[in-house]
Amino acid sequence: MPTAWLSRRSPSAAPSGMGDRAEGLGPTRRKLRSVHELPTAGKRVLVRVDCNVAVDEESRPLPRTDQRLRAILPTVEYLRGSGARVLLLSHLGRPDGRVVEALRLDDIARRLGVLLGAPVRYIPSMRGQIARSAAATLRAGEILLLENLRFDPGEERADPSFAADLASLGDAVVQDAFADAHRRHASVAVLPTLLPSAAGLLVESEVAALQRILDAPDRPVVAIMGGAKLETKLGLVANLLPRVDHLLTGGGIANTFLHIAGLHVDRGLVDAHPPAEAVDLFARFRARIHLPTDVRVQRAGMRESLILPVSAVTAADEILDVGPETTETYCQALVGATLCVWNGPLGRFETPPFDTGTTVIARCLASARAFSVVGGGDTVRALEELGLTDAFDHVSTGGGAMLAFLSGDEMPGLEPLYEGA
């Protein structure tokens, strides 16, 4: 491991992708139109929110799922305060264009009402006569939640006539569903093009935090990446590597890089045939990619887990977590960082003791001075279980959307909201 963790990067070690950062910024220099600039008093404002909370087998919302609902409160409260008539639009689950009784939004409306301390009306419809008359009778400051958008096949197909029906209910659109901004769906990508539209406060804060990682104004920048196989996150790794000083790896990503580096990583979460781009990135950015030096494994036929230096891993071992020497080294990097982004648990955190690496790194980052951005469905779940979500500067509500944004992918749900769009 390098000893230069704590020192600021020397000019000779400047990220080779700095040229890309200066020119090919794409959407990064553009400004989103803000809800603050949108005339809303007395207007019917359609607000696309993400109430897609986790549900149990009976599709009832789970108790620990308030975070997503709480995240939309600032925009709703702002609009109410401005005298708008608020029409909330959301989806829940995957009903695939059919009505699924258990995925109706009545429970969500009730829960939102409790969180807001104000009634949230619900109607079991989002287009047609029922929706139109509910919208027409809504008074200033009142809130109405329409039915699950994905009950209509037009939502996921980005059907223009479905979007037009939604638009006919309001005078303006506020897009606050960051978690859906990577999807080309009717309410997300088409609706904001049909009426005066702006980004909500959640979308603004998500974009500002994630943009800060991509712009990386302060050095050193550290990315922590673990979780699933590298293949699924290659776009993210490729976009971050030119921008960060250190990439600390764990999980399937570390396993695949260890495999590329020639170690015996044959079992468990590993891309046995890594894509050529992964091999190329590893060669180009070798100095920035930090691999575990020790790991916690489950050896075939043994009950207890073992901690081994990576050089001692055998074909009988499944790597399920990073080891203590590795977390110690990673923590030193975090102590010196000014900016840190984390996606992906470092081990199989659902099964102790393989949660140890994730736990140690979470505590370390929580107490570091770095501006910290964390995200990913499983990552946030792990941090919630540790009771640590309040300890980070930004906890993204977007799993796939955060990955897409940081990968530099097009965001159909943000495109119509940029100034000049």
Q: Where are the alpha helices (DSSP H) in 225-264?
A: 234-240, 251-260
Tokens 């070798």, located at residue: 286
Residue 173: enclosing H or E segment and its boundaries? strand 172-175
Tell me: does residue 378 bind Mg ion (CB under 5 A).
Answer: yes
Neighbours of 335 (CB within 10 A): 15
Toward Mg ion, which CB reaches closer, 35 or 362?
362
CA–CA distance from 346 to each of 167, 229, 248, 415 (Å)? 44, 12, 10, 33
- Return the residues of window 296-325 that contact ligand ADP according to CB under 6 A: 319-320
Tell me: does residue 379 bind ligand ADP (CB under 6 A).
Answer: yes
Toward ligand ADP, which CB reaches closer, 202 or 404?
404
Mapped to the 3 state alphabet, what secondary structure does 334-397 carry?
Answer: HHCCCEEEEECCCCCCCCCCCCHHHHHHHHHHHHCCCEEEEECHHHHHHHHHCCCHHHCCEECC
Instruction: Give the nearest distance from C-beta 226 to Mg ion in angstroms.
Output: 11
Residue 349 binds which entry of Mg ion, ligand ADP, none, with Cβ cut-offs from 5 to 8 Å by kind?
Answer: ligand ADP
The stretch among 108-116, 154-162, 325-333, 347-355 that binds ligand ADP (CB under 6 A) is 347-355
Residue 274 binds which entry of Mg ion, ligand ADP, none, with Cβ cut-offs from 5 to 8 Å by kind?
Answer: none
Toward ligand ADP, which CB reaches closer, 116 or 228?
228
SS3 call for 83: coil
Residue 66: enclosing H or E segment and its boundaries? helix 66-81
Residue 269 binds which entry of ligand ADP, Mg ion, none, with Cβ cut-offs from 5 to 8 Å by kind?
Answer: ligand ADP
Query: How far apart are the C-alpha atoms of 326 and 260, rounded to whole Å?
Result: 19
Instruction: Give the nearest distance from C-beta 232 to ligand ADP in angstroms.
Output: 7
Toward ligand ADP, which CB reaches closer, 154 or 226?
226
x/- mask, ligand ADP, residues 390-419, rule CB under 6 A, reads ---------x--------------------
Toward ligand ADP, which CB reaches closer, 255 or 329?
255
CB 175 within 8 A of CB 417: yes
The stretch among 43-51, 62-70, 156-164, 342-350 that binds ligand ADP (CB under 6 A) is 342-350
Instruction: Give the nearest distance from C-beta 215 to Mg ion in angstroms.
Output: 26
Mapped to the 3 state alphabet, what secondary structure does 88-106 carry?
Answer: EECCCCCCCCCCCHHHCCH
Neighbours of 373 (CB within 10 A): 23
Tell me: does residue 27 bind ligand ADP (CB under 6 A).
Answer: no
Q: How many CA atoms lie within 13 A of 44 on its CB side?
A: 20
x/- mask, ligand ADP, residues 195-234, rule CB under 6 A, reads -------------------------------xxx------
For the record, the structure tokens of 22 come out as 């200066």
Residues forming the site for ligand ADP (CB under 6 A): 226-228, 251-252, 268-269, 319-320, 343-345, 347-350, 376-379, 399
Residues forming the site for Mg ion (CB under 5 A): 377-378
